[in-house]
Amino acid sequence: MSKRFSFSLHATDGQARTGVIDTPRGQIRTPAFMPVGTAATVKAMLPESVRQTGADILLGNTYHLMLRPGAERVERLGGLHRFMNWDRPILTDSGGFQVMSLAGLRKLTEEGVTFASHIDGSKHHLTPERSMEIQRMLGSDIVMAFDECPALPATEEEVAKSMRLSMRWAQRSRDAFGDRPGHALFGIMQGGVTRDLREESAQALQQIGFDGYAVGGLAVGEGQEAMFGVLDYAPGFLPEDKPRYLMGVGKPDDIVGAVQRGIDMMDCVLPSRSGRTGQAWTHRGQVNIKNARHADDPRPLDENCSCPACTGYSRAYLHHVFRSQEMISGMLLTWHNLHYYQELMAGLRDAIAEGRLDAFVADFHAKRAEGDIEPV
């Protein structure tokens, strides 16, 4: 295994790419989907089960972990990998986005952001330097630069001002990160839906120099059409030989569209969160297991799926345990959803490698258009 962080591109098909990120903690096959382990756990899943679904890397949230249990405590206990019993790569976000979306009483200055914890109201300060320190204490393999994501709706002028602040913070993040062999620092492109601002941001980041580049400020309610509109050009502003990460995306069709546009990595709470609310993602679209139509259905959720929920249980059972609020409901549906997402990524990787992505995507949409199986 490599002692360094590196990215090698193996094949392209149109704008889509497949390759491998090498890290001292293992390889990440791209395009990669990262399950979200917000509070040092992918909810309802054991780490070995997450691995069994095919995940090469998890995402951890700096904002949540700094508040509870605290980065210093995680470091004393041997780092996040040891703490949560996951020995493969972990990417941590910078905390910036969740300060904006979750915390109360925020005060933003050139220096950083002061905010009140959503848990107990305690006051905290987050700067590029502090975010780098927290992510180092957690032991993150891929560290994200500290950025600001403007609250929507925002004028173009506000987006530009925020983007330029994020670029100054990107430089401070780079300086504070220092030289840490085997660990990577990713910069985050901002600029909203304005092409010129995206290009300016991409150039500023490349002047600083990062190990990978994220497209930030999307999946914040702008809709798929606007997001794809940005992805039609934004990845082209980034270097070809570094990984490109689209933050917070998404639904299966968002993922397919993003991969077609040259994205290598994604993360989203959707497969795990929706598993706990009775929503399943299958080859034939979304299934709501709490619907009464499943109560007498002896068939599996998805007959083409090899996950434990589909090989061992009927729709009738999954419906029953959801309605009875049994814990196994969230466990089985989360496992299925994560399995489905990873199988989709594997299918995309193979299709790109074999130059048949268009046919794969056409089949993906055709199966979804059929809709869920008819009730018995």
Residues engaged in binding Zn ion (CB under 5 A) = 305, 307, 309-310, 336
> Beta strand 16-23 with 6-13: parallel, antiparallel or unpaired?
antiparallel
CB of 86 to Zn ion, least distance (A): 22
Specify whether 141 is catalytic.
Answer: no
Q: How far is the CB of 304 from Zn ion (least distance, A)?
A: 9
Q: State the minimum distance, in angstroms, from the CB of residue 257 to Zn ion.
A: 23
Active-site residue, from 13, 93, 141, 372: 93
Compute the least distance from the CB of residue 179 to Zn ion, in Å: 44
Q: Measuring CA to CA, which residue among 270, 155, 275, 145 is closest to residue 215?
A: 145
Helix (H, G, I), strand (E, B) or coil at 6: strand
- For Zn ion, which is the closer residue by CB, 137 or 280? 280
Q: Which is nearer to Zn ion, 188 or 287 (CB)?
A: 287
Single out the catalytic residue among 56, 267, 302, 372: 267
CA distance readout (Å), 300 to 119, 252, 289, 317, 338: 40, 20, 11, 9, 16
Secondary structure class of 211 (helix, strand, coil): coil
SS3 assignment, position 8: strand
Q: Where are the alpha helices (DSSP H) in the chain?
A: 47-52, 62-67, 71-76, 80-84, 96-102, 128-138, 156-177, 195-208, 224-231, 252-260, 270-275, 308-312, 315-323, 327-353, 357-370
Taking the C-alpha atoms of residue 264 and residue 17, their distance in angstroms, rounded to an integer, is 7
> Which residue, 173 or 334, has its beta carbon nearer to Zn ion?
334
Q: Which is nearer to Zn ion, 167 or 307 (CB)?
A: 307
- Residue 267 is a catalytic residue: yes
> Which residues carry out catalysis?
93, 267
